[in-house]
A and B are shown apart, each in its own frame.
Chain A
């Protein structure tokens, strides 16, 4: 036996304990886990509330009392519940729009701008065709808002598909353009001459307003939103188009190799995504405010991103999370009476998104004992 073979026969020494040994446990990715458990979502939301509670406490308030007030404001009375549902309508439509885009990894964050142009287009119908009957006005407003939102979505999709421009930047830039366009019409040409300088158009008449339920503010837009969600669920589950969307989302490379026209899909998806947000704008002006006015959206388009993420893009989940975030917005308004800014709800929304992502990733890890 040569020296060399003898050396090889000696078993390798176990590796010396390194400084990493001070950690008895380590995290590693568990390849068998793909989804995250349902309770992770709840844990994420609770942790987000805990973090925001620290900021509330730093402001000299009792976080539990504040949260209690928010929940009572949003869900504690029939008025509160109706208001929550009213806020849930645009969130559901916009959230559905962005989830369709997120399904194929198109990061549309432009729902806010698409909402604005939809609202402007719907109002244009009332300005330029003021005396149409209700069965002509409402469908025309719907078509106009869908078209305007869709075009706004295409303005994001075309640079993405043909010029390789990051859609995040484009869609966000278009939000500001849409917002400025809205400011222009309500401060400029469409301002109500009898409105004491209020930045808004004249009030819509009966024929231009969506029917409401009883004496609440809950309007027919809820039916649009639920119908859109149902159609989306069926299309994604049962059609070739839906199958191709799921394939692109799961593995774009495989989809491309399978000959699926990804560019055409992106264009169509952004058209739909924008159109849905545009419809949300129409239902808001025609169903709630009955006029186009300054600050028509308290950031529905941005909240919709978190609505979609909390729902994991699932249709039923979208409806649930839209109601939850609608409640969060209403709750944010109700704590203004005790001297807290309503932007508290924006803070909670952002924190929820953070913990959702972290929780979703963490549940793919497993804890392993070292050694």
Chain B
């Protein structure tokens, strides 16, 4: 009889996970007293009940960024010249097309699904395995979808904000979506699992997505850090605005109370 593989986390991983949960619970932000309405309003607008824990993770991430991520990106920038980097990104994006396509369909966005499919065919064929974005030139503009956006369209609220070292900011909903895409939706993941010797494909894919994404974020994030007073808060706000725009499929933001 065929044995069904069961996912068993390493005992150490379980210990670390338990520690993180405990630390998270212990580090909940305290709501300001009702006698201070301005502080209460600020607390509600921040909507970040795990803030003390997140700020600790943010510091851990900054350390890992210096020690690990930046040297890797520096190496990538040495190996891949600047004018070739957009093509590498195109290739990685093209590989991700099935995830976008699946989520277009789950959101019943059939027109956008058609664009995703058309781009995938054209870019893989004419665009030399995706290195050249031919689709963009013939009017099939790029967009990206993920299961976090699908959940949002289905009405799932975003849940608490979490900062995950190495991965960055996310909400509970979008973190869940990321896991679903990476392990259940992505054909590359299925391919990698099909045969033990193919697991490297999944890791190579993850590595390529990671490096190209981090590469594109380093400069804008450095800029945000310099222009803000509290980088953590500025990043949290920017992250939410970008996600909101992606969920709206790029439509203009609703009116803010600028005229109050």
Instruction: Judge: A and B partners, yes or no.
Output: no
Which B residues fall within an 8 A CB radius of A? none
Which A residues fall within an 8 A CB radius of B? none
